Amino acid sequence: MRIVSLLPAATELVAALGLREALVGRSHECDHPEDVLALPALTKARFDTTLPSAALDARVRTIVAQRLPIYMLDEARLAGLVPDVVVTQEACEVCAISYDQVVSSLKRTAPAARIVSLRPARLADALGDVRAVASACEVEPRGEALAAALRARLDRVAAGIGSGGRPRVAVVEWLDPPMLAGHWVPDAIRAAGGVPLGPQAGSPSPATTWDEVRALGADAVVVAPCGFDLPRTRAEAEPLLGLLRSLAARVLLLDGNAYLNRPGPRLVDAVEIVAAWLRGGPVRAEQGLAFEPAVVA
């Protein structure tokens, strides 16, 4: 079995299924587990991904307006890998290479490859993707076991939620312009014991204004910019600290790239982290996650 994953969440899922050694190629964004960085990267962005939030947003909008693909695929390298299974996505063309690009390319480069396309919109969909990938890779029992283990962890979080009032939580998914997290994030916040504010679960993440976020009356705000690790999140959030503190009594900076933004196994880690934090517990580095609470006075 030779597997190519063009989606970070799928790469994590393939590894969690015990198939790391079957991975032969990845996207440029796949970085967990760390040893996948040794695999050939088959995609690249058409823009400089290190740009600040506002510049990134403007660049992507320009590319979309020009009707150009946001990401490019190395077809020669893909053909040379001779994959049996290619995992891609249909959830967001801004976050990863588009499904249509992948299908078109595989017709030319690897027509015998089985395509697994993930399009999670809710937390339950992410669990369903475990079974879908396991089935395509012919390890169905592993998929059932992993899905059951993730569900059991969510059940343990639910059992630990008290009967008192649930805090109202807004999740900021982009800082400039501000965006509120949709898709599976509202489900994750609800699973963590909060009341999600903003878009409905399963809906796209909308652009907003800081005044509109403040008007939500959140008890807590989680800042988890899409695609940003914790150091990058801190670098962009610190100049806005006064503004962020005006949005809610409690603010948490979270490594969105690793946890909330990716609908893979570590989405359950995110639920556990946020649940502990909402209950007043520390967000601890020994949990194996790159995060820390926001600095508040």
> Are both 273 and 176 inside the same structural domain?
yes
The answer to whether residue 150 is domain-embedded is no
Enter the pTM of the model. Answer: 0.91
User: Using CA atoms, how far apart are residues 156 and 268, in angstroms rounded to an integer?
Assistant: 11
Band the pLDDT of 89: cuts 50, 70, 90.
Answer: confident
Q: What is the total count of domains within the chain? A: 2
What CATH number should be reported for the domain holding residue 25? 3.40.50.1980
User: Token pair for residue 260?
Assistant: 């909330």
User: Using CA atoms, how far apart are residues 111 and 124, in angstroms rounded to an integer?
Assistant: 31
Q: Which residues contact residue 154 at a Cβ distance below 8 angstroms, ignoring those fewer than 6 apart?
A: 191, 268, 271
The answer to whether residue 177 is domain-embedded is yes
* Chain mean pLDDT for the chain: 90
Sequence-ordered strand ranges (E) for 66-223: 71-73, 85-89, 114-118, 168-175, 178-180, 195-196, 220-223
Mean pLDDT of 106-135: 93
User: What are the pLDDT digits (tens) for 15-69?
Assistant: 999 999 999 999 999 999 999 999 999 999 988 889 999 998 999 899 988 888 8
Domain containing residue 270: 163-293
The answer to whether residue 155 is domain-embedded is no
User: What are the pLDDT digits (tens) for 220-264?
Assistant: 999 999 999 998 998 999 899 889 989 998 999 999 899 999 999
